């Protein structure tokens, strides 16, 4: 309790804003949409203690002591259940605030309805690029966790700093939640804007066997390899690259792990098998991009309380791992942010039912969250701070943070453990190996010659018939395309308006 009181006082100081100084008195109906399944890092059991922690802090702050948050949980299940739970509410039972969902597809449908009903939505998820355009469908969405586009700015800064111009993206697309797909969509979008040449390989480890050696052969010719996949797949890819001697001087390897950074670091290569020593050597060339971790004393108190709650819920926690992830931090800070915005709006004579005004009051704002300063841009998306973690002692396998990127001001920080040679390309990336059976032309060249000959013959034969039927073909095609476009708008992928490659 002695540690908790200073936190309450600091939150009280931060939450005081210009305007009326009288305490707020209101009942706020909150609908929390998270999955019940504890395999998710953002399950209700994991996140609910963080929301309760924020409620307690607000009660201790005099200006917010009169706010009563009535929290009701709905199992989003990362599917349509979240939407059904919202639309089943009668008009007089609709919530004042929606927290979640996290999963992109669930968040897309819920946010559309909530925006239509003028209800603010704050999520520590919905990180995909498609949510970046808020008007009109996602007009009430505030993203309290750094988005994939914000994370991708880290790569833009690193590429600019070291002068790299080519990248190869490898990601695991499970066709379900598609976290790595949306992660790489952000990277692809940002690097393309800065004219970085990109190519990519897509895996689906849930449905097919992954061939690490075959995938690694495709990275030839690219300076930087960026991966997003399960820990075991990343290990297999690094082993394949190391065996081909691609890790030492011709390629730079990155892995993205935003949600569960404890899965990388000291001992992350270890599987208690015969490849452990080789994997440790390979991992000495792997850089992991993750969220910057807080060192605030208040965060340590918060982390201890969250760890106790998880243990009471029988959720396993490794001894050396952080009990807190970005979802727990985000939903804690979401309640603080809403309280700040509600106070500001009410000082202007409005009420909790003015959802759009409350939403805009949350945007373009900086406040003190549980893990440090939280900064939201004018679009309602949080600016993120990210770290690059790397093995600094190959003998012991010790990992350290060697670089930080601060999204608020776009600054790039080199830390004492950094070594220039780790990020220097001493040789030009070799071209992709040629297929010996092609006589040195390469598979694509031989294929092009054969296909070109066939197509040329076919075009000559088809020219007369094409010319004769041109007009009626165009008319039929126009009618068919109008129908197809109407159907395509209903597709699941369009619900996110993805700008990345076709799934």
Per DSSP, the residues of 348-396 read: TT--TT-HHHHHHHHSS-EEEETTEEEEB-TTSBB--EEEEEEEEETTT
**Residue 306 in domain:** yes
Task: Look at residue 465 in the predicted model and tell me its pLDDT.
Answer: 46
Q: Among candidates 343, 333, 325, 342, which has minimal Cα distance to 366?
A: 333
- Give residues with Cβ within 8 angstroms of 51, minimum separation 6: 32, 71, 99, 331, 332, 335
CA distance 391 to 397: 6
Instruction: Pick the more confident residue, 318 or 50.
Output: 50
**Residue 86 in domain:** yes
Task: Look at residue 311 in the predicted model and tell me its pLDDT.
Answer: 92
Q: What is the CATH number of the domain that holds 323?
A: 3.40.50.2300
Task: Look at residue 118 in the predicted model and tell me its pLDDT.
Answer: 97
User: Confidence class of residue 28 from pLDDT cuts 50, 70 and 90?
Assistant: very high
Which one-letter DSSP state was computed for residue 493?
A: G
Task: Identify whether the C-beta of residue 7 lies closer than 8 Å to the C-beta of residue 336.
Answer: no
For 468, left (φ over 0), alpha (ψ -120 to 50), or beta?
Answer: alpha
Looking at the structure, do residues 308 and 357 belong to the same domain, yes or no? yes
- pLDDT tops 60 at residue 233: yes
Looking at the structure, do residues 173 and 141 belong to the same domain, yes or no? no
Looking at the structure, do residues 331 and 412 belong to the same domain, yes or no? no
**Residue 221 in domain:** yes
Summarize the confidence of residues 247-253 as an average pLDDT.
90
Share of residues in the chain with pLDDT > 70 (%): 78
Tell me the two tokens of residue 338.
Answer: 């809403």
CB atoms within 10 A of CB 293: 15
CB atoms within 10 A of CB 263: 15
- pLDDT tops 60 at residue 67: yes
Q: At what angle do helices 231-243 and 276-283 cross, to 10 degrees?
A: 80
Q: Among candidates 405, 411, 335, which has minimal Cα distance to 367?
A: 335
Summarize the confidence of residues 108-119 as an average pLDDT.
97
Task: Look at residue 242 in the predicted model and tell me its pLDDT.
Answer: 96
Task: Look at residue 452 in the predicted model and tell me its pLDDT.
Answer: 57
Residue-wise pLDDT for 128-158, tens only, equals: 999 999 988 999 999 999 999 999 999 999 9
Looking at the structure, do residues 418 and 448 belong to the same domain, yes or no? no
- pLDDT tops 50 at residue 9: no
331, with CB counted inside 10 A (0-12, 13-18, 19+), is buried
Per DSSP, the residues of 149-202 read: HHHHHHHHHHHHHHT--EEEEEEE--SSS-HHHHHHHHHHHHHHHTT-EEEEEE
Q: How far is CA 265 from CA 260, 284, 381, in A?
A: 11, 11, 29
Domain count of the chain?
Answer: 3
Cα–Cα–Cα angle for 89, 333, 119, rounded to 5 degrees:
25
Residue-wise pLDDT for 429-475, tens only, equals: 666 554 444 444 444 444 455 555 566 555 555 544 444 443 433 33
Summarize the confidence of residues 81-88 as an average pLDDT.
94
Summarize the confidence of residues 106-125 as an average pLDDT.
97
Task: Look at residue 137 in the predicted model and tell me its pLDDT.
Answer: 94
- pLDDT tops 90 at residue 378: yes
Looking at the structure, do residues 342 and 281 belong to the same domain, yes or no? no
**Residue 502 in domain:** no
Q: At what angle do helices 4-15 and 326-346 cross, to 10 degrees?
A: 40
Summarize the confidence of residues 474-478 as an average pLDDT.
38
Residue-wise pLDDT for 268-282, tens only, equals: 888 889 999 999 999
- pLDDT tops 80 at residue 383: yes
Domain that holds residue 482: 441-495
**Residue 432 in domain:** no
| DSSP SS3 for 28 | strand
Of 158-167, 299-308, 456-465, least confident by mean pLDDT is 456-465
- pLDDT tops 50 at residue 254: yes
**Residue 501 in domain:** no
User: Confidence class of residue 316 from pLDDT cuts 50, 70 and 90?
Assistant: confident
Task: Look at residue 431 in the predicted model and tell me its pLDDT.
Answer: 63
Looking at the structure, do residues 104 and 93 belong to the same domain, yes or no? yes
Looking at the structure, do residues 273 and 407 belong to the same domain, yes or no? yes
Tokens 């080519």 appear where?
166
CA distance 265 to 64: 41
Task: Identify whether the C-beta of residue 82 lies closer than 8 Å to the C-beta of residue 104.
Answer: no
Task: Look at residue 225 in the predicted model and tell me its pLDDT.
Answer: 98
Q: Among candidates 238, 255, 227, 228, which has minimal Cα distance to 390?
A: 255
Looking at the structure, do residues 356 and 232 belong to the same domain, yes or no? no
CA distance 219 to 285: 16
Tell me the pLDDT of the chain averaged across its residues: 84
Task: Look at residue 99 in the predicted model and tell me its pLDDT.
Answer: 98
Task: Look at residue 467 in the predicted model and tell me its pLDDT.
Answer: 46
Residue-wise pLDDT for 35-64, tens only, equals: 999 999 999 999 999 999 999 999 999 889
Summarize the confidence of residues 228-248 as an average pLDDT.
94
**Residue 203 in domain:** yes
CB atoms within 10 A of CB 317: 13
Looking at the structure, do residues 401 and 276 belong to the same domain, yes or no? yes
Instruction: Pick the more confident residue, 251 or 493.
Output: 251
**Residue 428 in domain:** no
CB atoms within 10 A of CB 232: 11
Looking at the structure, do residues 199 and 217 belong to the same domain, yes or no? yes
Task: Look at residue 12 in the predicted model and tell me its pLDDT.
Answer: 47
CA distance 100 to 94: 15
- Alpha helices by DSSP H, listed for 469-499, are 470-488
Summarize the confidence of residues 341-369 as an average pLDDT.
97
Looking at the structure, do residues 164 and 142 belong to the same domain, yes or no? no
Q: How far is CA 328 from CA 48, 281, 296, 362, 426, in A?
A: 8, 34, 16, 19, 42
Cα separation of the two ends of the chain = 51
Task: Look at residue 461 in the predicted model and tell me its pLDDT.
Answer: 56
Looking at the structure, do residues 287 and 400 belong to the same domain, yes or no? yes
């Amino acid at each position: 309790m002695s540690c908790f009181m200073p936190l309450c006082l600091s939150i009280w100081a931060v939450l005081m804003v210009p305007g009326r100084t009288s305490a707020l008195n209101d009942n706020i109906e909150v609908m929390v949409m998270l999955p019940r399944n504890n395999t998710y890092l953002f399950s209700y059991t994991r996140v609910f203690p963080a929301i309760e922690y924020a409620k307690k802090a607000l009660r201790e702050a005099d200006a917010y002591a009169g706010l009563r948050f009535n929290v009701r949980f709905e199992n989003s299940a990362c599917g349509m259940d979240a939407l059904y739970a919202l639309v089943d509410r009668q008009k007089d039972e609709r919530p004042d605030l929606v927290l979640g969902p996290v999963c992109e597809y669930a968040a897309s449908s819920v946010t559309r309805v909530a925006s239509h009903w003028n209800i603010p939505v704050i999520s520590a998820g919905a990180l995909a690029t498609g949510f970046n355009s808020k008007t009109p469908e996602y007009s009430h969405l505030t993203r309290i966790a750094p988005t994939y586009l914000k994370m991708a700015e880290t790569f833009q800064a690193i590429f600019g700093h070291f002068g790299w111009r080519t990248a190869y993206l490898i990601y695991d697309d499970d066709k379900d939640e598609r976290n790595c797909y949306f992660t790489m969509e952000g990277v692809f979008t940002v690097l393309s804007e800065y004219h970085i040449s990109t190519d990519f390989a897509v895996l689906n480890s849930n449905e097919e066997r992954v061939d690490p050696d075959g995938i690694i052969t495709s990275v030839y010719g690219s300076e930087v390899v960026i991966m997003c996949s399960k820990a075991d797949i990343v290990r297999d890819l690094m082993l394949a690259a190391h065996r081909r001697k691609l890790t030492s001087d011709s390629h730079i390897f990155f892995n993205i792990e935003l949600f569960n950074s404890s899965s990388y670091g000291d001992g992350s290569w270890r599987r208690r098998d015969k490849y452990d020593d080789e994997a440790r050597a390979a991992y000495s060339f792997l850089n992991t991009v993750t969220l910057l971790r807080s060192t605030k004393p208040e965060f340590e108190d918060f982390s201890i309380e969250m760890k106790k709650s998880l243990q009471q819920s029988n959720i396993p926690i490794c001894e050396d791992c952080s009990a807190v992830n970005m979802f727990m931090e985000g939903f804690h800070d979401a309640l603080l942010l809403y309280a700040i915005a509600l106070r500001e709006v009410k000082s202007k004579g409005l009420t909790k039912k003015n959802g759009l005004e409350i939403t805009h009051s949350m945007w373009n704002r900086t406040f003190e969250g549980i893990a440090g300063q939280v900064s939201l841009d004018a679009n309602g998306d949080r600016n993120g701070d990210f770290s690059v973690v790397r093995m600094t002692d190959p003998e012991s396998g010790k990992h350290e943070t060697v670089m930080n990127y601060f999204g608020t001001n776009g600054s790039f920080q080199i830390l004492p453990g950094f070594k220039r040679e780790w990020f220097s390309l001493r040789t030009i990336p070799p071209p992709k190996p040629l297929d010996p059976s092609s006589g040195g032309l390469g598979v694509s060249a031989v294929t092009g010659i054969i296909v070109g000959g066939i197509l040329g013959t076919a075009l000559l034969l088809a020219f007369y018939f094409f010319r004769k039927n041109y007009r009626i073909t165009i008319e039929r095609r126009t009618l068919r395309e109008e129908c197809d476009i109407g159907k395509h708008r209903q597709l699941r992928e369009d619900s996110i308006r993805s700008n990345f490659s076709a799934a």
